[in-house]
Amino acid sequence: MPSDASSKRAKALRQQIAHHNERYYADDAPEISDADYDALVRELARLEAEYPELIDDASPTHVVGAGALSTAFTPVTHRQPMASLDNAMDDAELAAWGERVLKGLGSERPRFVCELKIDGLAISLRYENGRFVQAATRGDGRVGEDVTANVATIASLPRSVVVEGIAPKVIEVRGEVYLPTAAFQRLQAAKEAENRERVAAGRKPEPVPVNPRNAGAGSLRQKDPTVTAGRGLDLWCYQLGEIEGGPQLLNHAASLKYLHDLGFPVNPKIKVVEDLAGVIEFCKHWQEHRHTLPYEIDGAVVKVDSLAQREVLGKTSRAPRWAIAFKFPPEERTTILRDIKVSVGRTGRTTPFAELEPVFVGGSTVSMATLHNQDQVAVKDVRPGDTVVVRKAGDVIPEVVGPVLSLRPAKSKPWQFPKICPCPLRTELVRPEGEADTRCVEPACPYQRDQRIIYFASRGAMDIEGLGENTVFQLSDAGLVADAGDIYSLTREQLLTLEKWGATKADNLLSAIEGSKQRALPRLLTALGCKGLGPSASEALSRAFGTLDSIMLASEADLARTDGVGPVIAASIVRWFANAGNREMVEKLRAARVEFGKVEVSRLPQNLSGKAIVVTGTLDGYSRESAEAAIKDRGGKSPGSVSPKTFALVVGTEPGASKLTKAQELGVPILDLAGFEHVLATGDLPA
């Protein structure tokens, strides 16, 4: 028999899950992430499996989850119930499901259809005599909401369905309504702009959409269809429901082809595989490439192909046994925002960041996340003590997306940006008119000093292995470095006085420092940290002037005439070299025999001359730096952002979603590894 504690916990879990179902399905305003919700359901399922006496027919583990339906829409009873799917959270659970399928079919061997799990809102579409007549949400699986007028605004929805002049008498199609990434970003940007106006006028900001799923669901369930029409919703269809007067279909793959032939949008990434190894390969591929798509996915759906085999396998009270959803590791979680603090960068820019209750998201434990700038904190209205949504996608810096307002503490107050630099000098922070950033303008600020040294030694600059953030802080605290020039006067004896430093560690660092003296001029220029002077402009200046001394002596006008530099960067360079402290540092570098005039000239054909190629993500056989170098060695440019002038976007694994979305919006050609190597070899796009 279950203990009192187990019984109470099961009851509490059911209450929590019912509450979150209401917030998710009825209100489109969840208080926790999908991963946190799944954890509650799985905990309840484990308790019920251990103590069958706790099982309740109304348990969330036995029903398709939905809260009370909205009174704004007419109820619709589904002629065929819309089931939910069981989840597999890893390869082992996916394999266990596959074994259950094999056992259930005996000697028969199934084929599987693998689909992307679109992060949207399930929908049922009904057609009679070829004409669209009704759309309904899934609801609780038996009864949904009539959203016909809103779904009718989706451009990809076929208004009539006919194949070779014949329309089925009745056809019901299941699919997923979703908000494309680009449309979500437009909606989010519009709300943030509106909030900036509200904050400037002294009014309270409104919630900013935190993810495409919730924004899409809210867009679909608008009372006014014209609002829905302006949101840019789209649709993928993935299942045939009720049908009268149609062909006899024997498998799922054939039904998908039939839907496509009728004009329904069917996702092109669907794949039929012969065994579970193929299933696992499909899931692994899309887990790695999920951000190459112009819409959000949170997993893969795997189905037995044969409709006859599905009948044999049957279903449970809430889900078919012939299908499963493989969930990717969560990229969004909810946690507590403990405090908001500011960091000071090498240029004095102050950046607010969140100290979080540690949470596992995006493959790692996150305890800090960026808040970008003062305006973003105000627009999102995040406050210490809030429950917040944290997002981390691949290698992207963790970000606080927004607060869960329904869980905000009663006495919460808006966070105020500090007026004083957190460094020991305690100087006043300044926000120049017209700028989004607040800065510490005291050149002696120790936080700026340390960040300048860290930047100088970073991989994209002088690339001094072993001279990372913690080492710089240690050297700075010990009084051994005051600027980047002091790096080159460090001795073995000095390093050995530091805590936890031995001979090997000291020798390795000194060797890396010595090796950095021969870096090419573009790296040295970048490392100096002039505001606005990045790798591309440094490369152009190096080729144009040849030595650091020539650049120091050049006029602002001469610098500005260099391709890719312009008057703003030119003025920044002149100001930087006019500063006595900076000139002193340069002379330290000269005294240490750091190379001032090493310009590497490519002997490769300049077949990319005048072409801008942007690289995002990781390419097999290339680092980010080597891919960009391959472009520049052939006369091309590799800027950090996509524009109408971009020749092509090269996409590897874990690409930046904003670059991909921008390229799709502008019609910029998108290349994979093979396409990239074709462009390098020929200077032309693949046929």
In a domain, 479, yes or no: yes
CATH of the domain at 544: 1.10.150.20
Q: Are 196 and 206 in contact (CB under 8 A)?
A: no
DSSP annotation of 314 reads -
Q: Is the pLDDT of residue 26 over 80?
A: no
pLDDT score recorded for residue 22: 81
Residue by residue, DSSP assigns 514-545 as HHHTT--HHHHHHHHT-TT--HHHHHHHHHHH
Q: Are 544 and 562 in contact (CB under 8 A)?
A: yes
Same domain, residue pair 280 and 177: yes
Same domain, residue pair 173 and 280: yes
Mean pLDDT of 626-655: 88
* Terminal-residue alpha carbon distance, the chain: 69
pLDDT score recorded for residue 325: 96
- The per-residue pLDDT for range 328-342, each reduced to its tens digit, is 988 889 999 999 999
Same domain, residue pair 563 and 678: no
In a domain, 231, yes or no: yes
Tell me whether residue 254 is exposed, middle or buried, using C-beta atoms within 10 angstroms of its C-beta: 0 to 12, 13 to 18, 19 or more.
Answer: middle
CA dihedral 657, 404, 371, 355 (to 10 degrees): -120
Q: How far is CA 685 from CA 208, 632, 645, in A?
A: 40, 17, 15
Q: In the 3-class helix/strand/coil scheme, how is 316-376 assigned residue by residue?
A: CCCCECCEEEEECCCCEEEEEEEEEEEEECCCCEEEEEEEEEEEEECCEEEEEEECCCHHH
Domain boundary among the residues 273, 301, 327 is at: 327
User: How far apart are alpha carbons 310 and 251 in whole angstroms?
Assistant: 9
Domain boundary among the residues 562, 591, 620 is at: 591
Bridge partners (DSSP) of residue 440 are: 429
Q: Are 458 and 484 in contact (CB under 8 A)?
A: no
Q: Are 299 and 325 in contact (CB under 8 A)?
A: yes
Determine which of 14-23, 82-91, 141-150, 243-252 has the lowest per-residue pLDDT on average: 14-23
Mean pLDDT of 589-606: 88
What is the band of 394 on the pLDDT scale with cuts at 50, 70, 90?
A: low
Domain extent, residue 481, equals: 446-591
What is the band of 70 on the pLDDT scale with cuts at 50, 70, 90?
A: low
Q: Is the pLDDT of residue 375 over 60?
A: yes
Q: Is the pLDDT of residue 66 over 60?
A: no
Mean pLDDT of 34-47: 87
User: How far apart are alpha carbons 378 and 416 in whole angstroms?
Assistant: 9
Range of 21-35, 41-55, 77-91 with top mean pLDDT = 77-91
Q: Are 425 and 444 in contact (CB under 8 A)?
A: yes
Same domain, residue pair 321 and 340: no
User: How far apart are alpha carbons 425 and 453 in whole angstroms?
Assistant: 19
Q: Are 541 and 525 in contact (CB under 8 A)?
A: yes
User: How far apart are alpha carbons 628 and 637 in whole angstroms?
Assistant: 8
CATH of the domain at 634: 3.40.50.10190
Specify the long-range contacts of residues 371-374, CB closer than 8 Å, at least 24 apart: 371/340, 371/399, 371/400, 372/399, 373/436, 373/437, 373/438, 374/417, 374/431, 374/436, 374/437, 374/438
Q: Is the pLDDT of residue 67 over 60?
A: no
Mean pLDDT of 240-264: 94
Same domain, residue pair 289 and 261: yes
What is the band of 34 on the pLDDT scale with cuts at 50, 70, 90?
A: confident
What is the band of 140 on the pLDDT scale with cuts at 50, 70, 90?
A: confident
Same domain, residue pair 200 and 236: yes
Greater model confidence, 318 or 614: 614
**Residue of 125, 120, 119, 118 whose CA lies nearest to 80:** 125
In a domain, 467, yes or no: yes
Active site residue 588: no
What is the band of 69 on the pLDDT scale with cuts at 50, 70, 90?
A: low
pLDDT score recorded for residue 135: 96
Domain boundary among the residues 327, 359, 376 is at: 327
In a domain, 485, yes or no: yes
Mean pLDDT of 269-293: 93
**Residue of 321, 453, 332, 454 whose CA lies nearest to 387:** 332
Same domain, residue pair 470 and 506: yes
Same domain, residue pair 322 and 340: no
Same domain, residue pair 104 and 243: yes
Domains identified in the chain, total number: 5
Mean pLDDT of 234-243: 95
Share above pLDDT 90 across residues of the chain, in percent, rounded to a whole number: 64
pLDDT score recorded for residue 600: 74
Outline where DSSP puts E strands in 147-233: 170-178
Bridge partners (DSSP) of residue 173 are: 125, 240
Q: Is the pLDDT of residue 35 over 90?
A: no
Share above pLDDT 70 across residues of the chain, in percent, rounded to a whole number: 98
Mean pLDDT of 28-55: 85
Q: How many CB atoms lie within 10 A of CB 8?
A: 11
Tell me whether residue 263 is exposed, middle or buried, using C-beta atoms within 10 angstroms of its C-beta: 0 to 12, 13 to 18, 19 or more.
Answer: middle
Determine which of 163-167, 334-338, 679-683 has the lowest per-residue pLDDT on average: 163-167
Q: Are 336 and 385 in contact (CB under 8 A)?
A: yes
CATH of the domain at 32: 1.10.287.610
Mean pLDDT of 105-110: 91
pLDDT score recorded for residue 662: 85
Mean pLDDT of 35-42: 87
Same domain, residue pair 376 and 474: no
Mean pLDDT of 187-193: 90
CATH of the domain at 322: 3.30.470.30
The DSSP element (H or E) to which 40 belongs, if any, is helix 34-50
Mean pLDDT of 403-423: 92
Whole-structure pTM value: 0.72
Q: Is the pLDDT of residue 157 over 70?
A: yes
Same domain, residue pair 104 and 227: yes
pLDDT score recorded for residue 20: 86
pLDDT score recorded for residue 207: 86
Which residue of the set 8, 11, 103, 117 is catalytic?
117
What is the band of 130 on the pLDDT scale with cuts at 50, 70, 90?
A: very high
In a domain, 424, yes or no: no
Structure tokens at 576: 């930087």
Q: Is the pLDDT of residue 480 over 90?
A: yes
In a domain, 421, yes or no: no
What is the band of 65 on the pLDDT scale with cuts at 50, 70, 90?
A: low
- What integer best gives the mean pLDDT of the chain? 91
Q: Is the pLDDT of residue 601 over 80?
A: no
In a domain, 582, yes or no: yes
Q: Is the pLDDT of residue 641 over 80?
A: yes
Outline where DSSP puts E strands in 129-164: 131-137, 143-145
In a domain, 645, yes or no: yes
Strands 131-137, 87-88: pairing is: unpaired
User: How far apart are alpha carbons 388 and 407 in whole angstroms?
Assistant: 9
Mean pLDDT of 617-631: 85
Same domain, residue pair 188 and 319: yes
User: How far apart are alpha carbons 427 and 448 in whole angstroms?
Assistant: 12
pLDDT score recorded for residue 62: 72
